[in-house]
Amino acid sequence: MELKDKIIKIYELDENERKKVLEFLKEEILNGKIIICGTDTLYGLCANALDENAVKKVYELKKRDPNKPISIFLKDKEDIEKYAYTNDISKKIIDKFLPGALTIILKKKDIIPDIVSKDYIGIRIPDSKIIRELSIIPLTATSANLSGEESPTSADEISEELKEKVDLIIDTGTCKYKTPSTIIKIVDDNVELIREGAIPFEKIKKI
């Protein structure tokens, strides 16, 4: 399959066209391509998180400090235990808030390359159909901006530099929340707030 345009307005396609494009995109990701796709919070710079060369390219495109970890997108809650260790507290939070605008940092399993993250891994399961459909393997979940610049909440806000350098851009419209996900870290039975975003930390603490 060939696409005429680098920017694909996915919701302007009919159902059959959309299915064909999504299957094509999955193949492209497995082949090491880098895409930008809208989510419920921000537009993400996405690649196969199990492919170290693809992850390295994400760092280079974003001009990101290689010592800073990158989170991952997963398709479903059931996938989390393939890639990270959970406990009773993390399971309660996962069941309540995912899919949703939460990044939960858990002790990672060895299947996640160290280039993505060393000991702990941030996990997102967005409330966003397209990005979850594409997450047949873990995808890098880092905002589609150059480090230090504003994170885009629509395809129009993506920098021209990134637009030129990525392989494809999936325009899903304006993000629902227009703000980053809340980030928490679970260490044993402690829940630590790393960044408050779309979900108030008070709601999480009640769980």
pLDDT at 207: 85
- Tens of pLDDT, residue by residue, the chain (207 residues): 657 689 999 999 999 999 999 999 999 999 999 999 999 999 999 999 999 999 999 999 999 999 999 999 999 999 999 999 999 999 999 999 999 999 999 999 999 999 999 999 999 999 999 999 999 999 999 999 999 999 999 999 999 999 999 999 999 999 999 899 999 999 999 999 999 999 999 999 998
Query: What pairs with residue 124 in β-bridges?
Result: 73, 103
Alpha carbon distance, N-terminus to C-terminus of the chain: 47
Cβ proximity of 98 and 158 under 8 Å = no
The reply to whether omega before 126 is within 30° of 0 (cis) is: no
By DSSP bridging, strand 139-143 and strand 120-124 are unpaired
CA pair distance 137, 68, nearest whole angstrom: 21
CA pair distance 53, 197, nearest whole angstrom: 30
Radius of gyration of the chain from its Cα atoms, rounded to whole angstroms: 16
Question: What beta strand segments (E) does the chain contain?
Answer: 7-9, 35-38, 43-46, 71-73, 102-107, 120-124, 139-143, 168-171, 182-187, 190-195
Find, among 52, 73, 41, the residue nearest to 145 by Cα: 41
Which amino acid, 35?
Answer: I
Cβ proximity of 40 and 176 under 8 Å = yes
Q: Is 193 left (phi over 0), alpha (psi -120 to 50) or beta?
A: beta
